[in-house]
Structure 1
Amino acid sequence: MNDTVAALTATVTIEGETEPRVAFTQEALELVLQLRDQHGPLMFHQSGGCCDGSSPMCYPLGDFITSDADVLLGEFAVASDTDSLPIPFYMSTEQFAYWKHTFLTVDVVPGRGSGFSLEAPEGKRFLIRSRLMES
């Protein structure tokens, strides 16, 4: 049983859906806030590609170009004094075909993330914990 506790759940962004698909744990939220203070507005992408495995990747907003080959799973409303932009979370359409029945919780563990993701120098990496969505 996965008892990961969500601290912040993203808004629903997929047309016709009523349940959210992605959340941050408290530890992930704290790291996201730190990274946003350092880098400005952020975005996430879950590709499932060969180089980054299936780790969620955190980028400065707009640094990873999305297209029709990506699905916006949700947006996190994390406002601060300097930034009120939501943090979008994307997944490749191909990956979404496999994970469409899965709720994703972004967590943080010790270790080195991908060199392309903003948390890499922090000695931590984002990690997906998943469970089947309730129907």
Structure 2
Amino acid sequence: MVSRVLQTPPAAELIRKLEAQHGPVMFHQSGGCCDGSSPMCYPDGEFIIGDRDVLLGVLDPSEDVAVEPDHGVPVWISGSQFATWKHTQLVLDVVTGRGGGFSLETPEGLRFLIRGRVYTPEEQATLDEDPPLTGADVERDGLPKPLRPTLISDEDYAEVCVTPVR
């Protein structure tokens, strides 16, 4: 199964820390304006999801793959942004710096960042057969369980999470 969103180990670690402080969390990929285009982390349910928002996936930030998670971390994006990014697997990562003004990680001196990689033709074909859920779908049917695993592989991490040299 191909996931539309993955997380790096540092992102999973920060999510666990934020959940210890704030309870379950959720993400919405911001579409710009005040905080640029960054993934915003909120207490779960604090950000109102629209009927046309798209659920990229439900992350499992736990380290123990043998234990079924009691909840997942939903990652949403607006429908119009999804139309632009639908050919790209998004990877939630963490870098040093100030987060968005409303995002929970701001006081930590870190910020969440989205990286991406273009799907292979085989992956895209699989995704085309499995359309994403919208806010309306989730309101009607509930949130799916987290995909496992949702951590990016070491090989993909090396490919996606490189720092460009100038």
* TM-score normalised by the chain length of structure 2: 0.66
Percent identical pairs in the alignment equals 58
Query: Does residue 133 of structure 1 match 2:116?
Result: no
Query: Does the 8 Å CA contact 1:78/1:85 hold for their aligned counterparts?
Result: no
Partner of 2:103: 117
Query: Does the 8 Å CA contact 1:111/1:125 hold for their aligned counterparts?
Result: yes
- Unaligned stretches of 5+ residues in structure 1: 1-17
Letter in 2 for 1:64: F
- Unaligned stretches of 5+ residues in structure 2: 122-166
Partner of 2:59: 76
CA RMSD for the aligned pairs? 1.7
Which of the pair is proportionally richer in helix? 2
2:3 paired residue among 13, 20, 24: 20
Partner of 1:33: 16
Structure 1's consecutive aligned runs of 4 or more residues displaced over 4 angstroms after TM superposition are: none
Partner of 2:30: 47
Q: Which has the larger radius of gyration?
A: 2
Number of residue pairs the alignment of both structures matches: 117
Query: Does residue 87 of structure 1 match 2:70?
Result: no
For residues 43-91 of structure 1, give each alpha carbon's deviation from its aligned partner in whole angstroms, at most 9, with x where no partner exists. Answer: 000022211211101000000000113100100134599x821110000
Distance in 2 between residues matched to 1:133 and 1:30, nearest whole Å? 26
Which of the pair is proportionally richer in strand? 1
* TM-score normalised by the chain length of structure 1: 0.81
